[in-house]
Amino acid sequence: MTDHPDLVRRSAARLAADLAARDVSAVEVVRAHLDRMDAVDGAVHAYLHRDDEGALATAREVDAARARGEALHPLAGVPVAVKDVACTVGQPTTAGSKMLEGWMPPYDATVVERLRAAGLPILGKTNMDEFAMGSSTEHSAYGVTRNPWDLTRVPGGSGGGSSAVLASFQAPLAVGSDTGGSIRQPAAVTGTVGTKPTYGGVSRYGVIALASSLDQIGPCARTVLDTALLHEVLAGHDPRDSTSIDAPVPPVVQAARRADVAGLRIGVVGGRDATGYQPGVLARFTEALDRLEAAGATVVDVACPHFDYAVAAYYLILPSEASSNLARYDAMRYGLRVDPSRGGASSAEQVMAASREAGFGDEVKRRIILGTYALSAGYVDAYYGQAQRVRTLVAHDFAAAFEQVDVLVSPTTPTTAYPIGEKVDDPLAMYRLDVTTIPANLAGVPGLSVPVGLADEDGLPVGLQVLAPAMADDRLYTVAAALERDLVDAWGAPLLDRAPEVSTSPVPTPTRQEA
């Protein structure tokens, strides 16, 4: 055990300061997190893979470099967890699928390269819905992750592993991916912070593709400033990703520090009394609006009429792109290979069919079938084409809204975390809950979720979503930092201090994988 048992509760910014002052070493910080993982991850199941040795090796290098007086990145020595969707040399990368069980990538994703270059020890890879399709981690082939606030509930998804490591103090920083909300929605239901940057703001090179026109990598943390600090490490132009924007990274850290919303025009999208929303979510959301007004912002209602069609459009565009992207899992070059004849007499087509049958889970198969249908000759215009037209209308709604206001806000999710098993067999019910997060992916604009309190009904975290125009990611942090500061002032402590200590006794919850 370390001499600093509270190290795991410190923010990344605080750890960075402690490391710079040599109050602690990077090795001590990493060890404290490994101890914490030993203690709680049996119950939470947020990590699919731990890299104790790799993380300690990086920490040792950072400590040695600091001792030699070398100039270091401010976050050097602050550990991070990475969603299992980003290629990481020396660690398996599975995207939560049996199709890639044990696959060791031959190269690092650009974001992983950047973490390494900045000296952040990588603690391990976090659980996710298979190929990032889902909202609860129940579609992971490796079992569900549990919400640290209540182990019988989901931690959100697809990046539920990343949000759960933060909420259970198993890492101060985590990397996620967001195609339809997979960073923002898990952040909301675990009381943490997460940002989907502007499309093209962070490189997707080396990240396993789900729907390439929607996918975005982004930072997750427990505080707004920490999220901004990680955002800065991850973002920036990468010539290896053709969609990467060649422009300076928006000043996100400065914005998180400034936290001044005076004079800012804030638009409420979807109304303050939207139907289908949990009362406790709306109550915390409305209070947050009042706080923003009290801090000098103008809050007005803004109409985005086509957002109502965003879910329907997304669930045609995403399966179409996914069916195309996932065609590469053909059992010929890498990944699972099942030979139905076992003796080698099967044709390539038989091997492909048997491997895809065995390697993909139900949700992935459902979307591949749907997407293949939506793209098939005769239907492509009626389904995929129509969805693309809706996408354009959603983008126009954003453009019109951002002529009137600087940012848009809404609840991040209609409800707090729901019980494991409740929605797993009702895909439409799960899809519908993505109503708030999906428009940003369709339009490519940045979005962030910040905690605004706990719902009265169940005492679970509520998140507020901020959306801004493309490449104005800094505005997200200004608003979020102001809300966070108010909450900490009012409560005398960060929201996560209210989370119950993770119970390490086994929780008997049936999930599909375990049933």
Interface mask (CB under 6 A) for ligand GLN, residues 145-164, using x and -? -------------x------
Burial (CB count <10 Å: 0-12, 13-18, 19+), residue 82: buried
Listed ranges 2-10, 132-140, 199-207, 486-494: which one lies at the site for ligand GLN (CB under 6 A) = 132-140
Specify the residue, 406 or 473, whose C-beta has the smaller distance to ligand GLN.
473
Instruction: Tell me how far apart the alpha carbons of residues 166 and 379 are, in angstroms, rounded to a whole number.
Output: 44
Q: State the nearest-atom distance from the C-beta of 163 to ligand GLN, in Å.
A: 12
User: Per CB under 6 A, does 182 bind ligand GLN?
Assistant: yes
Q: Which residue is nearest to ligand GLN (CB)?
A: 182
DSSP string, 80-99: EEEETTB--TTS---TT-GG
Instruction: Tell me how far apart the alpha carbons of residues 371 and 235 are, in angstroms, rounded to a whole number.
Output: 31
Q: Which of 96, 218, 208, 109 is nearest to 161 (CA)?
A: 96
| One-letter amino acid for residue 429 of the chain | A
Q: State the nearest-atom distance from the C-beta of 84 to ligand GLN, in Å.
A: 12
User: Per CB under 6 A, does 179 bind ligand GLN?
Assistant: yes
Q: State the nearest-atom distance from the C-beta of 470 to ligand GLN, in Å.
A: 18
Sheet holding 173-177, edge to edge: 47-50, 122-126, 80-83, 173-177, 217-221, 193-196, 447-454, 461-467, 407-411, 265-269, 298-302
Q: State the nearest-atom distance from the C-beta of 71 to ligand GLN, in Å.
A: 37
User: Per CB under 6 A, does 208 bind ligand GLN?
Assistant: no
Is residue 351 within 8 A of residue 345, CB to CB? The reply is no
Listed ranges 28-36, 161-169, 174-182, 302-310: which one lies at the site for ligand GLN (CB under 6 A) = 174-182
Specify the residue, 310 or 468, whose C-beta has the smaller distance to ligand GLN.
310
User: Per CB under 6 A, does 63 bind ligand GLN?
Assistant: no
Instruction: Tell me how far apart the alpha carbons of residues 361 and 326 are, in angstroms, rounded to a whole number.
Output: 13
Among 28, 63, 113, 178, binds ligand GLN (CB under 6 A): 178
Alpha helices (runs of H) in 335-426, residue ranges in sequence order: 348-359, 362-375, 386-404
User: Per CB under 6 A, does 210 bind ligand GLN?
Assistant: yes
Instruction: Tell me how far apart the alpha carbons of residues 285 and 463 are, in angstroms, rounded to a whole number.
Output: 8
User: Per CB under 6 A, does 135 bind ligand GLN?
Assistant: yes
Q: How many whole angstroms from its chain centre is CA 280?
A: 23
Cα distances (Å, whole numbers) of residue 383 to 325, 368, 469: 18, 15, 28
Among 96, 121, 155, 180, binds ligand GLN (CB under 6 A): 180
Listed ranges 18-26, 40-48, 175-183, 238-246: which one lies at the site for ligand GLN (CB under 6 A) = 175-183
Token couple for 182: 């997979």
Residues in the chain: 515
Give every CB contact of residue 248 below 8 A, 6+ residues apart in sequence. none
Listed ranges 61-69, 147-155, 178-186, 482-490: which one lies at the site for ligand GLN (CB under 6 A) = 178-186
Q: State the nearest-atom distance from the C-beta of 172 to ligand GLN, in Å.
A: 23
Specify the residue, 196 or 306, whose C-beta has the smaller distance to ligand GLN.
196
Token couple for 383: 């389904």
User: Per CB under 6 A, does 74 bind ligand GLN?
Assistant: no
User: Per CB under 6 A, does 374 bind ligand GLN?
Assistant: no
Is residue 404 within 8 A of residue 302, CB to CB? The reply is yes
Q: State the nearest-atom distance from the C-beta of 134 to ligand GLN, in Å.
A: 5
Specify the residue, 178 or 406, whose C-beta has the smaller distance to ligand GLN.
178
User: Per CB under 6 A, does 218 bind ligand GLN?
Assistant: no
Is residue 360 within 8 A of residue 99, CB to CB? The reply is yes
Active site residues: 83, 158, 182
Q: Report DSSP state, residue 147.
A: B
Among 24, 32, 122, 132, binds ligand GLN (CB under 6 A): 132
Interface mask (CB under 6 A) for ligand GLN, residues 339-358, using x and -? --------------------
Is residue 67 within 8 A of residue 43, CB to CB? The reply is no
User: Per CB under 6 A, does 496 bind ligand GLN?
Assistant: no
Interface mask (CB under 6 A) for ligand GLN, residues 430-469, using x and -? ----x-----------------------------------
Q: State the nearest-atom distance from the C-beta of 262 to ligand GLN, in Å.
A: 34
Residues engaged in binding ligand GLN (CB under 6 A):
132-135, 158, 178-182, 210, 318, 434
